[in-house]
Chain A
Amino acid sequence: GESVGLHLPTLSVQEGDNSIINCAYSNSASDYFIWYKQESGKGPQFIIDIRSNMDKRQGQRVTVLLNKTVKHLSLQIAATQPGDSAVYFCAAQPNSGNTPLVFGKGTRLSVIA
């Protein structure tokens, strides 16, 4: 099966700095990855996704990097803002996307003004 882990349960950054949140997965058959943001009292909110045929994908202020060799995924947030404070989850999905997502435990990002 798949297991997904995050390197740090908490991360504090200064407002305006860049944030990097890391994630590792175990199943080399995982071919679809998603990052979610969860604010207090709300459900996870989709941020960005990437398929295994890509190494990098960019969104608005966010970039996801995928290193399939070491089974590592990262989310980079540029110019971190107070509104970015939340718990961030990565999720992996093996075998063509019709299998369940496996979530990591989450990293709590705190932005210091």
Chain B
Amino acid sequence: KAGVTQTPRYLIKTRGQQVTLSCSPISGHRSVSWYQQTPGQGLQFLFEYFSETQRNKGNFPGRFSGRQFSNSRSEMNVSTLELGDSALYLCASSLGGYQPQHFGDGTRLSIL
């Protein structure tokens, strides 16, 4: 069974640009969550989508947005990039409820 796939693996952008990251969940998983991982803050929750609806949202500015498609694939978008947005962005999918989230290997975003 294929795992969670995130593309691209690496991205380099400059301040002020925008970026879109993609996540393909495990087949059959309808819940997709996004996290930002940095050395200082650890894993911080961005948002979760379930059946194309945002179900939960973390404490991030409106520059961070996401969406989920009918096939459960998800994208997240960051606009007006700042240096502090440099991080590993992780996507996780699950069946929901008391089922574990399974993570992809992330997209490493570097802002110059």
Q: How far is the CB of B107 from chain A (nearest CB, A)?
A: 10
Check B102–A51 contact: CB distance below 8 A: no
How many chain A residues touch B (CB < 8 A): the figure is 24
- Given A41-B105, A100-B48, A100-B58: A46 and B100 within 8 A (CB)? yes
With beta carbons under 8 angstroms apart, the residue of A32, A44, A45, A91 that contacts B98 is A32
Give Cα A105–Cα B37 distance, bound, in whole angstroms. 10
Check B90–A44 contact: CB distance below 8 A: yes
How many chain B residues touch A (CB < 8 A): the figure is 24
Check A44–B103 contact: CB distance below 8 A: yes
| Interface of chain B residues 55 through 112 with chain A (CB within 8 A) | 55-56, 58, 90, 92, 96-106
Partner-B contacts on A (CB < 8 A): 32, 34, 36, 41-46, 49, 51, 89, 91, 96-106
Partner-A contacts on B (CB < 8 A): 4, 6, 33, 35, 42-43, 45, 48, 55-56, 58, 90, 92, 96-106
